Structure 1
Amino acid sequence: MKLRILPLAASIALLAGCASTPSSDTAASAPGAVDMASVALAPASGSMVSGKLMLMPMGDGVHVTGDIGGLAPNSTHGFHIHETGDCSAADASSAGGHFNPAGDAHGRASAPHHHLGDNDNLVADTNGVAHVDAHFAGAVLGGGGADDIVGKAVVVHANADDYTSQPSGNAGARIACGVITAP
C-alpha cells in the first residue's frame, strides 16, 4: 500500500508545482503590466483631426481599436507610435521620432525589420473617419521595459507612409497626437 501512495503523492506535488508556476505567455503577467490603455487624439498642425483609441495586450503585442475623425474623405494617413509622450508643440514635433527601441530601419509593419512604432496606413471612409484595427507586434503595455508603449505618443500624419523613406516614411505633417495612458 505504501508503494502506491508514494507515486500518487509525488504526482500531486508535481502537478501543484506546475499550477503555481507563472506563465510568460501573456504580457499582463509581467510586473507592472496593464490590461488596457487609451489615447485621446487631439488636433495638431491646424487640423480638425481627433479621436479615441483603446489599446489592449493581445497575442504577441498590443492591439489598437477606435475611430479617428476629421480626415478628408477616402484619404490615407501614416499612423505611428512616437518615442516621447509629449504632444505640446502645435505641430506635435515634441512627440519625437518613431518609437524604435531596437534601432531598426523604418518599414512596413509586416516586414521582418521595422520600427516598433511603425504600422500600416489608415484609410478614411467617405465620411472622413478612419476605423482603426491595428496591431503592434512586440509592443507591451506597462512594465517599464524597452518595448513598453505606455506614456508614448500616437501620431496621425497628413499623408500616406511610403514605408521606405528613412527615417519616417515621408508621411508629412503630424495632424493629430495623443499620449498612451493607463488607468
Structure 2
Amino acid sequence: MKKEIFLLLAATLLIFLVSCGEDEEKTDAPDTGDNQTSTEEESNSEEIEEDSETENITADIMNGDGDEVGTAELIEQEDGVYMHLEASDLPEGEHGFHIHESGLCEGPDFESAGDHFNPSDSSHGTESEDGPHAGDLPNIEVSEDGTVEQEVTAENVTLTSGEDHSLLDEDGTALVIHAEADDHESQPAGDAGARIACGIISDED
C-alpha cells in the first residue's frame, strides 16, 4: 500500500515538473520585437517619403557683368518659402530684395525679369494699405566687406507647381537685388533703384 502511494506521488511530481518546464520555455522565448521594428520602419519610410517630396531649389545670383556673386537656397515649408541668401561683391548698405515675375536675368539691367511677382494684383509694400505684393521681401543688409548672409520666409508664395502663387510657372520667376533700399510703400516698386543682381528661380537643372 505504501509502495502504491509512493509511486502515485512520484508520478504526480513528474507531471508537475514537466508542466513547469513547458511554461518556462514559453516565458523564456525571446521577444523578437517584430511588431515594434515593423512600426519603426514604417514611420521612417513615411518621413523619408515626406522629405523627398519637399521642394528645394537653388538660384545662382549674377551681377550685371554676368559674374556669379552668390546663391539663394529656397525650401518649401508650411508657412511659405524659406530663403537662405549668401552673396559677396555687393555695395555696402541696405538693398531692396524682391521676387520678380519672369525667370529671365539678362544683364546689365535685368529688366527682363519684369515687375514684382504679384498674382493677386496688390499694391507694393508692407506699409501700403492694399499691399504687399507676393514677391515683396525684407531689405537685405550688405556688410562693409561686400558680403551678405540673410534668411527670410516669403509667406505668400509656394514652390508647388500648379498652385496659386507658385514661383514655378511656365517661365519661372527671379530674385532681384536693387541698388537702394525699399521704402515698402512707394509705387510700384518701393523706390529701390536699379537692379544690380539677379537669380533665376526654376525647377529645371
Question: When the two structures are superposed, what TM-score results if normalisation uses the length of structure 2?
Answer: 0.67
Among 140, 143, 165, the alignment partner of 2:158 is: 140
Q: State whether structure 2 residue 118 is matched by structure 1 residue 61.
A: no
The superposition leaves residues 107-133 of structure 1 with CA deviations (integer Å, 9 ceiling, x where unpaired) of 138988300000110001221111120
Contact 2:122 2:130 in 1 (8 A): no
For 1:125, the equivalent position in structure 2 comes to: 143
State the shift of 1:72 in Å. 2.3
The CA distance in 2 between the partners of 1:71 and 1:114, in whole Å, is 26
Query: Which residue of the partner structure matches residue 55 of structure 2?
Result: 35
Could you tell me which residue of structure 2 aligns to residue 91 of structure 1? 109
How many angstroms apart in 2 are the aligned matches of 1:65 and 1:84?
Answer: 20
Deviations 1:60-92 (A, max 9, x none): 21000031111223x110000000111124210
| Structure (1 or 2) with the larger CA radius of gyration | 2
Aligned residues with identical type, % of pairs: 36
Name whichever structure is richer in helix by fraction: 2
In 2 relative to 1, CA 164–111 (structure 1 residues): closer, same or farther, beyond 3 Å? same
- What is the CA–CA distance in structure 2 between the aligned matches of 1:142 and 1:40, rounded to whole Å? 20
1:37 and 1:92 map into 2 onto residues whose CA distance is 21
Within 5 Å, which residues of 2 pair with 1:1-183? 34-44=54-64, 50-73=69-92, 75-108=93-126, 113-150=131-168, 151-182=172-203
- Which stretches of structure 1, 4 residues or longer, exceed 4 Å deviation after superposition? 46-49, 109-112
Cα gap change, 1:62 to 1:172, in 2 (>3 Å)? same
Q: Is the 8 A contact 1:47 1:175 kept in 2?
A: no
Q: How far apart are residue 34 of structure 1 and its match?
A: 5.0
Structure 1 counterpart of 2:173, one-letter code: K
Instruction: Indicate the structure whose relative CO is greater, using CA pairs within 8 Å and at least 6 residues apart.
Output: 1
Cα separation, partners in 2 of 1:101 and 1:89, compared to 1, 3 Å: same
- 1:47 to 1:123, Cα distance in 2 relative to 1, 3 A: farther
